[in-house]
Structure 1
Amino acid sequence: MRFFLFVWLTCLAVCSARAQDSTTVRPVASADTVPAVDQSATDLLAGLSDSTTTEPLLPRKMIFTQRIFWGPKGLLRTMNLAPLTPEGRAKELKIRRTMLVAHQIGGFVTLAGFVAQGILGGKLYNAKGQEYVDLKRWHERTAGIINVTYGTTLALSLTTPPPIVGARRGFTTIKLHKYLAVLHLTGMIATNVLAGMIDQHPDLKPIHRAAAYTTFGAYAVSIAALTF
């Protein structure tokens, strides 16, 4: 009898202990153990948002001659000769490359003309009689050829389609080329004006020579800035 009583009490004790264990509060899993949220939906939405953004087809800044022809409301746009579309801009960039290559070739031709005119001009200052007449004729012919090649080269530069992006910040060889272009363009105008005044005002010869040499120097450096 005592044996059965002992077994019965032991069973009650074990059941009571198990009941107490079942009522204990278990620790909540820490934040580190929580599985990460799947980011696939977020990434998908971000990709869709990025795909809706389009790159501008034209740079924000353009020179006035480019804006006249190739701007959003330029002549070629309004006449529907150059629609502002991605396909159209791709064709324009090919045209731009061709025009810039022609611009560079014209620059070398003009530079050679400057050298020839400088040699003739140096001899012209010391020539007399028939030699002076002949040298002056060739000097004027060379000047006419230079004016044509210089004007053509300048027109190619001013009317070329704009690039995709604007000019880089800071000092670059392209900016040096443009700054020198202002200088040698001014020199070209001054040289031609003074050349027409020398016959009546011979005292302008030194000024004419200085303007010619300044123009040649600025032009040569501007060509070298893009070549080297």
Structure 2
Amino acid sequence: MRIFFTLLLIGCFALIRSYAQTAPVAIPADTAAPVTATNNLLADLVDSTEQQPLLPHKMIFTQRVFWGPKGLLRVTDLAPLTAEGRAKELKIRRTMLVGHQVMGFVTLAGFVAQGIVGAKLYNATGDQYSRLLNVHSALATGVNVTYTTTALLSLTAPPKMLDERRGLSSIKLHKYLAMVHIAGMIATNVLAGSLQQHPELKPYHRAAAYTTFGAFALSIIAIKI
């Protein structure tokens, strides 16, 4: 029995001694891997940041004029093309696009009011016609101002960082509809200026106005989807 306990104690002592000798070696080996992996990950992030372009390859004409590599704000050194500068520009972009949405709803309300007055104007006569014509003209001026402001807030906003993804998206649908209502807005104003000399153009003026309103309303709905 004594021999058994003696051998048991010797075995335990040998096991503890062997663990004490190997444990310090095992711990650094386990912790070294995460540190190395972390360093590699940080290096990859630094490399990807350095390779990330500051401007998208595709920009609309108005954005390129102001914010392109050789745009007016770059050559005049008002907005140097740097990473810090682009971070500030993205904040400006967000503010301008929020303003774009707000003015879009204001313009939509103006379109509705102008459409209601315009519908009454077609059947009005005498003094009522004169009053409604003045109201319609005033609404037209207001809509033109808010519409132009809405468009400029989008067209002159700083560009985003990345190019748009391929395929149809709500943003692209919004832009396609914008082309329609811009053309309709121009046609509506041109025809409105010719109605006094050519009253037979009234149906075309109404069609252009309704098309403009429809495309504008759909563009707002598309961006909200």
- Rounded to whole Å, the distance in 2 between the matches of 1:100 and 1:46 is 35
1:61 aligns with 2:42: no
Q: Report which of the two structures shows the higher radius of gyration computed on alpha carbons.
A: 1
Unaligned runs of 5+ in 1: 1-38
Map 1:137-176 → 2, pairs under 5 A: 137-176=134-173
Q: CA deviation at 1:54?
A: 2.3
Letter in 2 for 1:141: A
Q: Which position in structure 2 is the counterpart of 1:29?
A: none
Letter in 1 for 2:46: S
1:84 aligns with 2:81: yes
Map 1:29-68 → 2, pairs under 5 A: 51-52=46-47, 53-68=50-65
Label 1:75 to 1:132 Cα distance change in 2 as closer, same or farther (>3 A): same
- Number of residue pairs matched by the alignment: 191
- Rounded to whole Å, the distance in 2 between the matches of 1:195 and 1:49 is 60
Question: Which digits, 9 at most, give the CA deviation of each residue in 1:26-78, with x for residues without a partner?
Answer: xxxxxxxxxxxxx999x978975773442111101111110110011111011
Label 1:48 to 1:114 Cα distance change in 2 as closer, same or farther (>3 A): closer
Letter in 1 for 2:114: Q
- Rounded to whole Å, the distance in 1 between the matches of 2:105 and 2:58 is 28
What is the RMSD computed on CA atoms of the aligned residues? 2.1
Identity of aligned residues (%): 64
Q: CA deviation at 1:180?
A: 0.5
Q: Which position in structure 1 is the counterpart of 2:209?
A: 212
Unaligned runs of 5+ in 2: 1-32
Q: CA deviation at 1:167?
A: 1.0
- Rounded to whole Å, the distance in 2 between the matches of 1:221 and 1:45 is 48
- Rounded to whole Å, the distance in 2 between the matches of 1:118 and 1:200 is 22
Q: Which runs of 4+ in 1 moved over 4 A?
A: 43-50
Of Structure 1 and Structure 2, the greater helix share is in 2
TM-score by length of 1: 0.79
